[in-house]
Amino acid sequence: MQTHPTVPAWQVGPLLRAWRERRRRSQMDLSLEAGISQRHLSYVEGGRARPSRDMVLRIAEELAVPLRERNALLLAAGYAPAFAEERAEAAPWRGVVEAILAAHAPFPALAVDRHWTMLAANAAVAPLLAGIANRALLTPPVNVLRLSLHPRGLLPLIGNAHEWRTHVLERLRHQVAATGDPVLAALLAELAALPAPDPVPASAPGLAPGGIAVPLLLDSPAGRLSLLSTTTVFGTPVDVTLSELAIEAFYPADEATAERLRRLSG
């Protein structure tokens, strides 16, 4: 079996333990689900035993470790990475993603990577960004969370800015807790430090206590839009970049918004 000779095998133990603790799993529970003894898992986590390649992948699967970090675990155990990583710009699946975005028109949709960098967008997105004061925020690479919460970005155009900011930050906190990604943690700290808008009374059903969704109330050249969003990820990717890609698709929450979006795309 091919190994990576420059990385000490025992480095994988603390990494596996960190992922287990992040997922709030006990050694007993994980060992039962992964089909190994608790004693052996304890030895692996303590750096006293080197797990096999299959064991690393089995534990990582049980802990829902992202593919990028599974490669890191394999390297830390002395094995070659298992998952390829294509550049998004030249990946063979790029055309499929762009076709999905285009098919969503005249409603806006965009694709983002694990750090919320915009990789692609359909034609319906551009008119919604026309009123942004700081055009530097639109210089690639564009971070869509920074763009939406910056006081000279989309935030002044968002009618429910306080609720939207709360929603975005809470979602990002969950991501940081689930992944431990230091880039996301830094982004969370940056966005949380931006000036917070004052709360306003609920102006849409989803904003009331118990509402099932947080709509985005966005002022556009065609008038105010009420948008609901969904996130789509690819279920069984074998490519690292594709596994980290998400499609954010926005839908009109009412017929007036649908008509305004059609006019904007006209």
* Protein fold of 9-76: 434 Repressor (Amino-terminal Domain) (1.10.260)
Q: Which residue has the tokens 């094995």?
A: 79
The total of other beta-carbon atoms located within 10 Å of residue 94's CB is: 19
Q: Could you tell me the residue ranges of all domains in the chain?
A: 9-76, 94-265
C-alpha–C-alpha distance, residues 67 and 83, integer Å: 7
Tokens of 183: 């880039």
φ/ψ of 111, rounded to 5, equals: -115, 135
- List the one residue out of 118, 82, 70, 67 whose CA is nearest residue 97: 118
- Judged on CB neighbours under 10 Å (0-12, 13-18, 19+), 38 is middle
Strand partners, 219: 224
Please check whether residue 217 is in contact with residue 224, taking contact to mean a CB–CB distance below 8 angstroms: yes
pTM of the full structure: 0.85
Q: Which residue has the tokens 């699967």?
A: 61
Ordered per-residue pLDDT tens for the chain, 266 residues: 344 444 454 689 999 999 999 999 999 999 999 999 999 999 999 999 999 999 999 999 999 999 999 999 999 999 999 999 888 777 888 899 999 999 999 999 999 999 999 999 999 999 999 999 999 999 999 999 999 999 999 999 999 999 999 999 999 999 999 999 999 999 999 999 999 888 766 555 444 444 456 899 999 999 999 999 999 998 777 899 999 999 999 999 999 999 999 999 87
CA dihedral 239, 33, 77, 17 (to 10 degrees): 110
CATH number, span 94-265: 3.30.450.180
